[in-house]
Amino acid sequence: MTQPALLPKSFLWGYATASYQIEGATDVDGRAPSIWDTFCKTPGKIADGSSGDVATDSYKRWKEDVQLLKSYGVKAYRFSISWSRIVPEGGRRDAVNAAGIAHYRALIEELLREGIVPFVASTLYHWDLPQALHDRYGGWLSKDEIVPDFVRYADVCFRSFGDLVQNWITFNEPWVISVLGYGVGVFAPGHVGDAEPWIVSHSVILAHAYAVKLYREQFKARHGGQIGITLDCHWLLPYDDAPENQEAALRGVAFKLAPAPLTALPEPTPRQDPIYKGCYPARVKAVLGDRLPDFTPDEVAVVRGSSDFFGLNTYATHLVRDGGRDELNGFIQTGHTRPDGTPLGTQSDLPWLQTYGPGFRSLLTYLWKTYEQPIYVTENGFPVRGENDLPVEIAVDDADRQEYYRNYAAALLQAVTEDGADVRGYFGWSLLDNFEWAEGYKVRFGVTHVDYETQERTPKKSAGFLRQWFEEHIAV
Ligand code: GBH
């Protein structure tokens, strides 16, 4: 009799959140504003005119959140640290805030007491740049200022939490920070530009790399941890067999993963030339030309191999055609209807997200073969269409979210057991319904329903589904 295929015993799973999306308490315990506080107060930027001022009140309700995690049977929790709570004014000569450190220390200690790994516990940057740094020198636009400021903030975090945290992520989604924040302008700080995004992502890659260098030189030996970066990527399928659409799909992936060739492999390899030579992917360079900054030889040496794993946030698959005016994505047009008129999968509450498990499997296998790095899926999830209009008793019966997780979990298992992809962890997005950035509170990604009037938390059925699925599919 054949044994059912299982994930390895060491496989970690749990849920992810981000500071600004859940914490609230934006003026408590010495926290100073971040660019998201400012952005939310700009009329017209957030769909329902809301902000993260209260969110799910998790800065105060964190014990309740840890109990929820425990009741869901998770092994790990991914959360992010707010720079504005640790160094409120942000800079390398600015004061460190003891109250902010005490807060995260208490949370981490509580997780450990409950047997939950603060895995990837700590994303240092999930988009909430201290406003003071933006005002002082333009934030990510000033490489020579922001890199040392970020490294100093990272140093404070490594010193304050490094004895308890063995898993670190520097940045959440450089593509979103740069392209949506400084190109399209739909995320903070809301700039629109055609050169700015590439200056910003250059700074982010360097800030990441120098923080990793610091960790490896001064903390890793003592604390034995690992450190990496999280990129976001959809899987892109050519719309049809047309060669230009096949090429467009490859180009689209290259745009999303532009930092990866630089950070993933310790040594250049001839196999995937020329992208491992310490330059951006050739397909990206071909579109952007001189707007893509160069790395100095010293920088190349620091950047190359600067991630111990591949952190992946992924939600959707898109069908891709060549052309259009979308330079920031490499001149591709995306859709989700096949040539025969059928939809790719169940529609979510957001136009860009449909259920399509096979794309998740393809992406995991592609990343493993291309970068040969252990993968942690650091976000994956689904907002059910119209869920915000439903009363809680109905909303918790989240059939489409369960279908999504059933498909993606099956794809994960196939990628690991049939394709040999070294995937070591999986985090659902998200533990709670929360502040969904420019969508405000209208779009709900949680496996827990949150009543924003009372802050009452109610588990949805998907939480039970995932608990049972991982119980059945991780080796004991
Ligand atoms: C994640 O980003 C974020 O890390 C998380 O904070 C957020 O709550 C979650 O998504 C849910 O949205 O131009 O077609 O890609 C995922 C990356 C970037 C995917 C923005 C959707 C907009 C449409 N997202 N993107 S598209």
What is the per-residue pLDDT across 142-193, written as a single tens digit (0 to 9) for each? 999 999 999 999 999 999 999 999 999 999 999 999 999 999 999 999 999 9
pLDDT at 263: 64
Q: Distance between CA atoms of 109 and 175, rounded to whole angstroms?
A: 32
pLDDT at 294: 85
Residue 18 pLDDT class (50, 70, 90 cuts): very high
Residues in the chain: 476
Residue-range domain boundaries for the chain? 12-473
Share of the chain above pLDDT 90, in %: 87
Indicate if the pLDDT at residue 265 is higher than 70. Answer: no
pLDDT at 258: 80
Atom of ligand 1 nearest to the CA of 437: 8
Ligand 1 centroid to residue 119 C-alpha, Å: 21
CA dihedral 134, 80, 151, 216 (to 10 degrees): -160
Query: Tokens at residue 199, please?
Result: 């200056």
Residue 89 pLDDT class (50, 70, 90 cuts): very high
Residue 371 pLDDT class (50, 70, 90 cuts): confident
pLDDT at 248: 96
pLDDT at 3: 63
Is CATH 1.10.3720.10 the right assignment for the domain spanning 12-473? no
Q: Which of 313, 350, 431 to mutate to test the pocket of ligand 1 (most atoms within 8 A of CB)?
A: 313
Ligand 1 centroid to residue 435 C-alpha, Å: 13
pLDDT at 159: 97
pLDDT at 418: 97
pLDDT digits (tens, 9 = 90+) for 432-460: 999 999 999 999 999 999 999 999 999 99
- The sign one gets for the Cα dihedral 309, 436, 320, 356 is positive
Question: Residue of the nearest CA to atom 26 in ligand 1?
Answer: 352
Residue 282 pLDDT class (50, 70, 90 cuts): confident
pLDDT at 121: 61
3-state secondary structure (DSSP) of residue 80: strand
Of 109-123, 238-252, 256-270, which one has max mean pLDDT?
238-252
Question: Residue of the nearest CA to atom 23 in ligand 1?
Answer: 352
- The catalytic residue positions are 173, 379
Question: Ligand 1: residues within 6 Å at CB?
Answer: 18, 21, 172-173, 176, 232, 313, 315, 352, 379, 429, 436, 445
Residue 2 pLDDT class (50, 70, 90 cuts): low
Of residues 77, 37, 34, 75, the one with CA closest to residue 54: 37
Ligand 1 centroid to residue 316 C-alpha, Å: 10
pLDDT at 273: 28
Rounded CA Rg of the chain: 21
Atom of ligand 1 nearest to the CA of 445: 11
Indicate if the pLDDT at residue 272 is higher than 50. Answer: no
